[in-house]
Chains A and B, each alone.
Chain A
Amino acid sequence: MNYFPDEVLEHVFDFITSHKDRNSVSLVCKSWYKIERYSRQRVFIGNCYSISPERLIARFPGLKSLTLKGKPHFADFNLVPHDWGGFVYPWIKALAKSRIGLEELRLKRMVVSDESLELLSKSFVNFKSLVLVSCEGFTTDGLAAIAANCRFLRELDLQENEVDDHRGHWLSCFPESCTSLISLNFACLRGEVNLGALERLVSRSPNLKSLRLNRAVPLDTLQKLLMRAPQLVDLGIGSYVHDPFSEAYNKLKIAIQRCKSIRSLSGFLEVAPHCMSAIYPICGNLTFLNLSYAPGLHGNKLMKLIQHCRKLQRLWILDCIGDKGLGVVALTCKELQELRVFPSDPFEAENAAVTEEGLVLVSAGCPKLNSLLYFCQQMTNAALITVAKNCPNFIRFRLCILDPMKPDPVTNQPLDEGFGAIVQSCKGLKRLSLSGHLTDQVFLYIGMYAEQLEMLSIAFAANSDKGMLYVLNGCKKLRKLEIRDCPFGDAALLEDVGKYETMRSLWMSSCEVTLGGCKSVAEKMPSLNVEIIDESEQMEFNLDDKQKVDKMYLYRTLVGHRKDAPEYVWIL
């Protein structure tokens, strides 16, 4: 390999696109490290506090695309206080100062200010793509800056962000010269948009393939947009409320029929269920259907819609589909790979309309199923064992029984055997979320069988430290472990602190770990940041080592303690 000139190696490396592979390549030898780093264009940073922007820029001067994740996963569920961290501004500032020609920025669970968006929009001439998932801290003013200043913008994708909506004018900020849009998703915005500006924007974007509208876009606008963009591949409908006998509806039917390329459909944020027949013509080609924000669609209307979707590969749905509806899915969607069933009434477990039966039906009818997120009222060991047998290909298996610690309702046993069957059968399992009544036994199974497991989420489970130890000892590929409300204490935490350096992060809240235990980890492992999050002011007055810690988040890092932690975060 020494005889190859660098350019040849570089060319070879161009074909290596996955982050993992490129990371491996860079470890082979010094010259490969050098070549790899100069040719690297895309970097993924799973924890923004594991490295600093300066070091990133120093290593990868050719960086074009950066993906950053900020807050820990449990922040999605209100377990992390709002100003904990994850600010993107320092990154944008550092990148702006450098000579990096950033073209793409993808952020997840980060705090994004209008200031950062404005700086971003003005600093990178070739900036093309902004994807924000589950972020917060910005308003539509920031979006206006992006629209106005990014002359070659191709993608603006906002997914489930908390945006302060200052109503509507940001769309008008796209200049007339902007014709490069390929993807525009503003479904999460809650305010009005300038419909005329939207229509004009779509008209002058011949490459537009993905368009996801928010609730404020009414049906007649939708019809006009579809007439102007029949090349759409991905459509998110905002409001779908109208009179089935109106002219607008007829026009819509015609418009939809022209859109022969639509493969992905979502939205229906407001829906009149008796008007779904207009959609049937495109259902046959759909590979992704997301109705998880459409509680108005249920019962027979929903089932009829699904019956038209024979090519579906991914389905996101609310649990009002019911077990019967899942039966229809099982009969119809033979290509199904991913199923997500969300609760339509998160606070009333009794109203959850799906049980283990629905899951068993889908597992029987859809042998290609490999990814599951399932919120249900109850689950049985027998059902899980059946599912494991039917679908040995699971990569992601996330089960949430809405009633925490609920056992198998038939046998009153914990669900150890059921989940055990899943991990034993699904040899490629990478992500697992547990729920229901579970003892240490399930963790023994996980440690024994889940060899590929990378992410594990545990809540209200186990009897003793043994549970956590089984997992830490057994799952060699574990990268993220998040635990809440389990009886794991210092003994488990301290058994193998070196393990945490091989992982991205560990979250433990409402467990039995003490301040002393956490301090011990921090002492032994200087390459970890051990954060204690405690808003109750206990830490101020009572620094007893024996005190239990409410929330602990530890992660490996190359840059030591972060400087932007708020008052209630102690970094040991």
Chain B
Amino acid sequence: MSPPLLGVEEGGQNNVTLLGSSGSMDSVCQNNAELKERNYMGLSDCSSIDSSVVTPGSDDSNVSLNLKATELRLGLPGSQSPERNPELCLLSSAQLDEKPLFPLHPSSDGHCFPSQKTVVSGNKRGFSDAMDGFSEGNFLSNSKKDVMLTPRPSSNLGLKSGSMLENLGVQPTKAKEVTNQKVVKDSPHAANETRPNHNASANNNSEAPASKAQVVGWPPIRSFRKNSLATSSKNTDEVDGKAGPDALFVKVSMDGAPYLRKVDLKNYSKYQDMSSALEKMFSCFTIGQCGSHGTLGRELLSESKLKDLLHGSEYVLTYEDKDGDWMLVGDVPWEMFTDTCKRLRIMKSSDAIGLVINGWIVELIEMEDRT
């Protein structure tokens, strides 16, 4: 996934890839720096990383580092060998160790905070300890994040990243979800990890930011409170259905569409409004009749829906509710729908028929259980 990181293959692209690798090393460095390899101001190291990466003089060291990295690689070119990143990290940490501990110029402060979101922990020693203390699992995921988020730190530090983004074919949203999940999983277990990975979230000026990885014990909130909020947020708004003060955004996906959209359910007061808005959004789309409010008997309702599907539109609107079940839109009153809808999916009718039939089967099973 990371040809730029490999570095030395295409001659013509050497510079780019070197920059790429420096950029990635940078992100790695910066990431490492976030793992507390920076000095306490977090500044001059950053600037020295800058200078060491960009100035021609240090290209040699970069090249040598890169070559070393290539040598250690076990897999085929183009495969991502996990060992590589730790190597880079350790090497860069060695490099950083030589930097003076304390900043010299307050004026250098300014440009060394590329984004206000730089997460810096500031304890040099702690970083190497953290490296030692990392479990493989943690580190692998960390390095994955590095790779995926590489372009952004480069852009921060003024390196050309646009082309790299295309090279890597990175999908920022995917990165976010990966890290989201990682973070959510990590949070209850922060207790005994030394220093769990910092995200390269410092690098998020533009994109939807990946969620911050956690420093142990930060922010300083009682675990009881943290856990309570975690459970109550699971009950109320999920990752997909974040409720702002007066908005209820849910993701809308359409089978076959290259990207998803988000709609604010609070903008609509009934199904018709929502369906026409969605129709406009995804123009080649009709959902048939979804205005019924469960007035018919349950079985009749399913039958009529099935008829719609067979004779009507190509697409059907479905949603995922709080329990994780996929339901046909339109069965329940609008208010109940907005309360329980986590995300929407515009499904191909052929798939939806399967849903309906599944629903029948579930009903049958439930009926049998009761008798």
Contacts and interface: CB of A to CB of B under 8 A. Distances in A.
B219 A375 contact: yes
B191 A78 contact: yes
Contact of B246 (A76, A299, A459, A484): A299
Interface residues of A, number: 65
A463 interface: yes
B224 interface: yes
Contacts of A348: 209, 211-212
Contacts of B113: 407, 412
A460 interface: yes
Contact of B116 (A320, A409, A413, A535): A409
Contact of A459 (B36, B212, B218, B233): B218
B125 A548 contact: yes
Interface stretch (A10-18, A27-35, A87-95, A396-404): A396-404
B102 A464 contact: yes
A536 to B, nearest CB: 6
A145 to B, nearest CB: 23
A461 B235 CA distance: 37
Given A78-B190, A299-B245, A462-B40, A403 B119 contact: yes
A356 to B, nearest CB: 13
A77 interface: yes
A298 B40 contact: no
Contacts of B125: 510, 512, 548
B221 interface: yes
Contact of B214 (A188, A347, A464): A347
B222 interface: yes
B229 A295 contact: yes
A269 B217 contact: no
Contacts of A349: 117, 212
Given A79-B217, A320-B245, A512-B125, A347 B187 contact: yes
B243 to A, nearest CB: 8
Nearest to A509: B217
B183 interface: yes
A160 B232 CA distance: 15
Contacts of B222: 76-77, 134, 160
Interface in B190-213: 190-192, 194, 209, 211-212
Contacts of A405: 42, 118-122
Contacts, number: 156
Contact of A484 (B132, B217, B226): B217
A40 interface: no
Contacts of A168: none
B108 to A, nearest CB: 11
A77 B190 CA distance: 10
Nearest to B191: A78
Interface residues of B, number: 54
Nearest to A324: B245
A535 B132 CA distance: 13
Contacts of A320: 245
A69 interface: no
A358 to B, nearest CB: 14
Contacts of A486: 40, 122-123
A390 to B, nearest CB: 25
B318 to A, nearest CB: 26
Contacts of A293: 225, 228-229, 232
Interface in A437-460: 437, 439, 457, 459-460
Given A269-B232, A403-B117, A536-B194, A188 B224 contact: yes
A512 B132 CA distance: 18
Contacts of B217: 74, 77-79, 484
B215 interface: yes
B236 to A, nearest CB: 5
Contact of A460 (B121, B235, B245): B121
A377 to B, nearest CB: 9
Interface string B79-108: 000000000000000000000011100000
B124 to A, nearest CB: 8
B113 to A, nearest CB: 6
A402 B220 contact: no
A77 B119 contact: no
B256 interface: no
Nearest to A348: B211
B129 A350 contact: no
B216 interface: yes
A350 B209 contact: yes
Contacts of B223: 76-78, 162
Contacts of B126: 485, 510
B59 interface: no
Contacts of A81: 191-192
Nearest to B235: A270
A464 to B, nearest CB: 7
B314 interface: no
24 contacts: A78-B223, A134-B222, A160-B222, A160-B225, A295-B229, A295-B232, A300-B246, A342-B225, A346-B226, A347-B183, A348-B209, A348-B211, A350-B117, A378-B116, A403-B119, A404-B121, A407-B113, A413-B109, A437-B41, A463-B102, A486-B40, A487-B122, A535-B192, A550-B129
* 6 closest A-B pairs by CB: A299-B245, A77-B217, A160-B224, A79-B217, A76-B222, A78-B191
Given A295-B232, A343-B221, A464-B102, 12 more contacts: A77-B218, A77-B223, A79-B216, A82-B191, A134-B222, A293-B225, A295-B233, A346-B226, A350-B209, A407-B109, A463-B103, A486-B40
